[in-house]
Amino acid sequence: MITYRHLAVPFAMLVAGSAFSAGAAANEVNLYSARHYDSDEHLYEAFTEKTGIEVNLLEGDSDQLIERIKREGAASPADVMMTVDAGRLWRAEQEGIFQGIESDVLDERLPEAMRHPEGKWFGFSQRARAIYYNRGNFDPSQIDSYEDLADPAFEGQVCIRSSNNIYNQSLLASMIEHHGEEGAETWAQGVVENMARDPEGGDTDQIRGAASGVCDLAVANHYYYVRLLKSDDEADREAARKVGILFPNQDGRGTHMNIGGAGVVAGAPNRENAIQFLEFLSSDEAQEIFASGNNEFPVVEGVKKDPVLESWGNFKKDDTNISILGENNPEAIRIFDRVGWR
């Protein structure tokens, strides 16, 4: 059984009360989730069927959930917090939301790059930050790396989201790791100078920009592209057909990958159930649900992927530990501000 509890409640409840009763219960786990994918319901159903542990779900965005857990304090019923992007998980970590855990299952199942060094949070699905090009206007042999996006040859040709987008903050955080702060700032300045328009819209809008000829190059997470390919709307499918996808840096460190992840909350009243839940997320069954539900890449090798993702074949992924993306986030934001990336 899954109990759905959404965060559409008066703000006073953030202070005065909780959606769940406090105290441990033998057969439940209280999940605070910032993932808003219908397919995740199948994860919870499968976990309950396998373990008999009921999932109480409370949804909100990451900042809301962090604030709620802080305000609930020691009385918080939260057992697990789940969200997307290592930058957001790191922010929760900095607020003291997570506790470190030890799990032989997670150590065995998850690659080292997908595990926080102190076991405070873990990556359970991956998303590639890919480059897209207009098939009619652009020769893809001209570009093979993120670094190329800053090449003056591509002035006025790049569509990319704003600097307040966590996906771009994590991409720049990875550039800091590989090129240092000075090199990352030089790159960010070059991208700003190559923008076809001021940043606007979400990832899908960047892909549409490339498809319509507003720009020749765009940056977006891979699953937005897959959604367009699979859309019931012919206009969406046509837009997807007009662009090609590139996985950058195949001759070097590999493509930047981010995550959907989770950790056990510091005061979790149902700690053992919470650990069981995380361990389940690393199972083949759960990994296939991640892969098929939101077109994400599984983190466990050998798990069946969505057919579109399978058609892309294997590509080299940056294996930098995901915690680095959070640690470099504050400097990434400062660099964005200095170069005028709005």
Residues 154 and 242 in one domain: yes
Tell whether 74 is covered by a domain. Answer: yes
Closest by CA position to 293, among listed 309, 316, 314, 315: 309
Residuewise pLDDT in 10s, the chain (342 residues): 444 444 443 333 333 344 565 555 569 999 999 988 788 899 999 999 999 999 999 999 999 999 999 999 999 999 999 998 999 999 999 999 999 999 999 999 999 999 999 999 999 999 999 999 999 999 999 999 999 999 999 999 999 999 999 999 999 999 999 999 999 999 999 999 999 999 999 999 999 999 999 999 999 999 999 999 999 999 999 999 999 999 999 999 999 999 999 999 999 999 999 999 999 999 999 999 988 888 999 999 999 898 999 999 999 999 999 999 999 999 999 999 999 999
Q: How crowded is the C-beta side of 283, counted as CA atoms within 13 Å?
A: 15
Tell whether 269 is covered by a domain. Answer: yes
Closest by CA position to 60, among listed 121, 18, 6, 4: 6
CATH of the domain at 139: 3.40.190.10
Tell whether 10 is covered by a domain. Answer: yes
Tell whether 72 is covered by a domain. Answer: yes
Residues 262 and 242 in one domain: no
Number of other CB atoms surrounding residue 48 within 10 Å: 18
Residues 164 and 153 in one domain: yes
Tell whether 309 is covered by a domain. Answer: no
Q: What is the DSSP string of 290-340?
A: HHHHS-PEESSTTPPPPHHHHHT----B----THHHHHTHHHHHHHHHHHT
The pTM of the full predicted model, rounded to 2 decimals, is 0.90
Residues 132 and 226 in one domain: yes
Type and span of the H or E element at 189: helix 166-194
Give residue 96's region: left, alpha or beta (phi > 0; psi -120 to 50): left
What is the structure's pLDDT at 331?
Answer: 97
Compute the distance between CA of residue 106 and CA of residue 279 in angstroms, rounded to an integer.
6
Compute the distance between CA of residue 219 and CA of residue 222 in angstroms, rounded to an integer.
9
Tell whether 29 is covered by a domain. Answer: yes
Residues 33 and 92 in one domain: yes
What does the pLDDT look like over 136-181, one tens digit per residue? 999 999 999 999 999 999 999 999 999 999 999 999 999 999 999 9
Residues 114 and 176 in one domain: no
Tell whether 197 is covered by a domain. Answer: yes
Domain range enclosing 285:
2-126+258-304
Query: Exposed, middle or buried: residue 338 (CB in 10 Å: 0-12, 13-18, 19+)?
Result: exposed
Alpha carbon distances (Å) from 97 to 15, 103, 229:
17, 19, 38
Tally of domains in the chain? 2
Residues 79 and 115 in one domain: yes
Tell whether 139 is covered by a domain. Answer: yes
Residues 98 and 188 in one domain: no
Residues 108 and 133 in one domain: no
